[in-house]
Amino acid sequence: MGIIISLLNHKGGVGKTTSAINIGAGLTELGKKVLLVDLDPQANLTLSLGIPRQKATIYENIKGEAEVSPFTVRPGLDVVTSSLDLSGAEMEMINEAGREYILKELFEPVSEQYDYVIIDCPPSLGLLTLNALTCSRQVFIPLQTEFLALQGLAKIKQVIDKVKFRLNKDIEIGGVIPTMYDGRKVLNRDVVDTILKYFGEKVFKTYIRDNVALAEAPAQRMDIFAYSPKSVGAEDYLNLCREILDRTSTLRPVAENAGFAQ
């Protein structure tokens, strides 16, 4: 069974979707089979890879109207797409019994076909995000190296701790990914120092440097390795993926009994 990893930050614009796409593509470059899950109603991951509207998206999967049927972007990289319809899912799920476990039930059988399942969470801490955390083994936190991006880190950790206590005893923070980093800027260096003090060894050694190619790739409906394989962005994400492989090599997936009685 594949390792399920959620990328989470409730602040927008920190490189979360960019990281989800390029971690997925980078792991594929390193020989792994990866499923990307677009759990954001804005569907930025789906749009960034140029995937046409699918008959069955994650919304229909959550509603129980269709089975999970990933779209193949290229060999080894599949995507469960999203759509704006997902924006109403939380209200529709609220009265469902076992509502926190809907994604877990969906992806337990599917994850057996992959080495990694990467979930791009919405920029919120609502029920969709709670579902992602309940089925995930690790959480990666992409963090823009700017002052405002530091705000809310304590809240993210608090939510993860509550999920660990109540819903998924196996979940842990797998790493913090510094993004949009420019070593020439004192502010960027100071923010990284603050992150290191707070998270210590959880911070990945690879910092994703500010790189125009990473912003251009989605406009061309490509990941960074397809768009500009020799760019700084491709180099950074490939190095990050090597770190991820090293960190997750001894992990086991979330246990079937990882949840706790309510």
Q: What is the pLDDT of residue 58?
A: 97
Supply the DSSP symbol for 255: P
In degrees and rounded to multiples of 5, residue 172 shows phi and psi of -155, 160
Q: What is the pLDDT of residue 34?
A: 98
For the chain, the average pLDDT equals: 92
Q: What is the pLDDT of residue 125?
A: 87
Q: What is the pLDDT of residue 49?
A: 97
Higher pLDDT, 95 or 34: 34
Q: Give the 3-state secondary structure percentages of the chain, helix then strand then coil, rounded to 5.
A: 45, 15, 35
Instruction: Indicate the pLDDT class of residue 262, thresholds 50, 70 and 90.
Output: very low
Q: Is the pLDDT of residue 168 over 70?
A: yes
Q: Specify the range with the lowest mean pLDDT, choosing from 6-15, 60-69, 148-157.
A: 148-157
Q: Is the pLDDT of residue 247 over 60?
A: yes
- CATH superfamily of the domain spanning 3-37+101-248: P-loop containing nucleotide triphosphate hydrolases (3.40.50.300)
Cβ-based neighbours of 67, under 8 Å, separated by 6 or more: 56, 61
Vertex 212 angle, CA 7 and 173, to 5°: 15
Helix (H) or strand (E) holding 192: helix 186-199
Burial class (CB in 10 A: 0-12, 13-18, 19+), 230: exposed
Measured distance CA(227)–CA(169) in Å, rounded: 39
Q: Is the pLDDT of residue 121 over 90?
A: yes
Q: Is the pLDDT of residue 256 over 60?
A: no
Which residues, listed in sequence order, are joined to residue 117 by a DSSP beta bridge? 4, 35
The pLDDT of 213-238, averaged and rounded, is 97
Q: What is the pLDDT of residue 254?
A: 67
Burial class (CB in 10 A: 0-12, 13-18, 19+), 77: buried
Instruction: Indicate the pLDDT class of residue 110, thresholds 50, 70 and 90.
Output: very high
The pLDDT of 194-222, averaged and rounded, is 95
Domain assignments of the chain as residue spans, ordered by start: 3-37+101-248
Q: What is the pLDDT of residue 259?
A: 55
Q: Is the pLDDT of residue 237 over 50?
A: yes
Q: What is the pLDDT of residue 149?
A: 79
Q: Which of 129, 37, 44, 21 is nearest to 80 (CA)?
A: 37
User: Quick one: how many helices (H) and strands (E) in the chain?
Assistant: 11, 7
Burial class (CB in 10 A: 0-12, 13-18, 19+), 154: exposed
Q: What is the pLDDT of residue 55?
A: 92
Q: What is the pLDDT of residue 255?
A: 62
Measured distance CA(129)–CA(237) in Å, rounded: 24
**pLDDT tens track for 68-93:** 999 999 999 999 999 999 988 888 88
Q: In the structure encoding, which two tokens stand for residue 238, read together?
A: 């490939």
**pLDDT tens track for 185-203:** 999 999 999 999 989 999 9
Instruction: Indicate the pLDDT class of residue 61, thresholds 50, 70 and 90.
Output: very high
Q: In the structure encoding, which two tokens stand for residue 166, read together?
A: 């109540």
Cβ-based neighbours of 210, under 8 Å, separated by 6 or more: 180, 181, 182
Q: Which DSSP string corresponds to 29-97?
A: HTT--EEEEE--TT-HHHHHTTPPPPSS-HHHHHHTSS----EEEETTEEEE---GGGGGHHHHHTTST
Q: Is the pLDDT of residue 261 over 50?
A: no
